[in-house]
Amino acid sequence: MVEDRSSDAAWLAVRARVRAATPLVHNIANHVTMNVTANALLAFGASPAMVHAPEEAAEFAALARALVINIGTLDATFVAGMEKAAARAQALGLPWTLDPVGVGATAYRTEVCARLLAFRPSVIRANAGEVLALAGQAGGQRGVDSLAASEAAVDAARRLSAATGAVVALTGAVDYVVLGEEATAIAGGDPLSQRVTGTGCIATALVGACLAVAEPGPAAHAALSAMKAAAAGAARRSAGPGSFAVALIDALAE
């Protein structure tokens, strides 16, 4: 059973703590969405930094309040930085969140995700196809987009959460925050979110910001709720996906 326990008071309180703390969030991000992700974190009230070089990723993670790893445009240099940062995060007890973009599409992505999962992310933020792939089911992915509705992946998310200990933040037309058997639905948002690149990456980064001030379950819930609210607000002021992407940043800052 999936409960709808969304509460405006809860996520607004987490956001208020982010804004009060302005936490430094260390991102090892992807080339496509680094700019919008950084702007979303700034709008939300965090202090983002994008640092990926293996020479400094672990040292930088130790300065941060949370770590975000997004494999969207991974290559050997970035993966080396990701592993060093994730290892340091695990050693320090620093919360971190993984965005397994396109896992299952290629052997390389699947293998890199397996290595990163060994460092025990606090939250995995993924679409249905990615959750199905991580849970060992094929067929839900086309490139980096999911073909499956999020509902179809809730049970897989439960298994993934049980197997990894992570909260699974499963996003789609309806989002789900899954911890073990417990799944909380978050509705709202707008279909335009699927028409611009980076809304998933932004959600992951906001999870990171919230992890700096809250436990994984409430952090994931707050980040996804904030995105749903911002998307709904932005859609009302948009003439299409281009202006929606701009209005989304404005809305996150409100």
Backbone φ and ψ of 184, nearest 5°: -115, 125
Minimum Å distance from CB 131 to a second copy?
Answer: 18
Report 41-70 residues binding a second copy (CB under 8 A).
Answer: 42-43, 47-56, 59-60, 63-64
Check residue 254 for interaction with a second copy (CB under 8 A). Answer: yes
Minimum Å distance from CB 158 to a second copy?
Answer: 28
Which residues, 6+ apart, have CB-to-CB distance to 215 below 8 Å?
A: none
Count CB-CB contacts under 10 A for residue 199. 24
Check residue 107 for interaction with a second copy (CB under 8 A). Answer: yes
Distance CA 99, CA 84 (A): 16
Check residue 4 for interaction with a second copy (CB under 8 A). Answer: no
Closest to 48 (Cα-Cα) out of 60, 32, 31: 60
Closer by beta carbon to a second copy, 4 or else 75 = 75
Check residue 142 for interaction with a second copy (CB under 8 A). Answer: yes
Distance CA 231, CA 75 (A): 31
Residues that contact a second copy, how many (by CB under 8 A): 65
Binding mask 204-243 for a second copy (x = CB under 8 A): ---------------------------------xxxxxxx
Binding mask 11-30 for a second copy (x = CB under 8 A): -------------x-x--xx
CB 196 within 8 A of CB 244: yes
Report 152-191 residues binding a second copy (CB under 8 A).
Answer: none
Check residue 89 for interaction with a second copy (CB under 8 A). Answer: no
SS3 state of residue 145? strand
143-153: b (≥16 Cβ within 10 Å) or e? ebebebebebb
CB 229 within 8 A of CB 188: yes
Which amino acid is present at 231?
Answer: A
146, β-bridge pairs: 141
Residue span binding a second copy (CB under 8 A) among the ranges 11-19, 35-43, 83-91, 202-210: 35-43
Minimum Å distance from CB 140 to a second copy?
Answer: 14
Interface ranges with a second copy (CB under 8 A): 24, 26, 29-36, 38-39, 42-43, 47-56, 59-60, 63-64, 72-77, 81, 102, 105-109, 142-145, 195-198, 237-243, 245-251, 253-254
